[in-house]
Amino acid sequence: MAGAVESHDRRDDHALVTALRGGDEQTFAALVDGWSGWMIRLARGHVPTASVAEEVVQETWLAVLEGLDRFRGEASLRTWVYRILVNQAKRHGIRERRSVPFASLTDDDAGPTVDPERFQGPDEPYPGGWRQFPQDWPEQVALTREVRTVVTTALGELPDRQRVVVALRDLDGHTADEVCDLLDISAGNQRVLLHRGRAVVRAHLERYFAISPARSGVTT
- Asked whether position 170 contacts other proteins by CB under 8 A, the answer is yes
Stretch that binds other proteins, among 10-18, 19-27, 76-84, 96-104 (CB under 8 A): 19-27
In the bound state with other proteins, the residue whose beta carbon lies nearer, of 10 and 114, is 114
Q: How many CA atoms lie within 13 A of 199 on its CB side?
A: 14
Asked if residues 213 and 135 have their Cβ atoms less than 8 Å apart, the reply is no
- Asked whether position 161 contacts other proteins by CB under 8 A, the answer is no
- Asked whether position 211 contacts other proteins by CB under 8 A, the answer is no
132 burial via Cβ count (<10 Å: 0-12, 13-18, 19+):
exposed
103 burial via Cβ count (<10 Å: 0-12, 13-18, 19+):
exposed
- Residue 165 sits at φ, ψ, to 5 deg, of -65, -45
Site residues (vs other proteins, CB under 8 A) = 1-2, 4, 21, 23, 25, 28-29, 32-33, 36-37, 40-41, 54, 57-58, 61-62, 65-66, 69, 112-114, 116, 119, 126-130, 133-134, 136-137, 141, 143, 147-148, 151-152, 155, 166, 170-173, 176, 187, 191, 194-195, 198-199, 201-202, 205-206
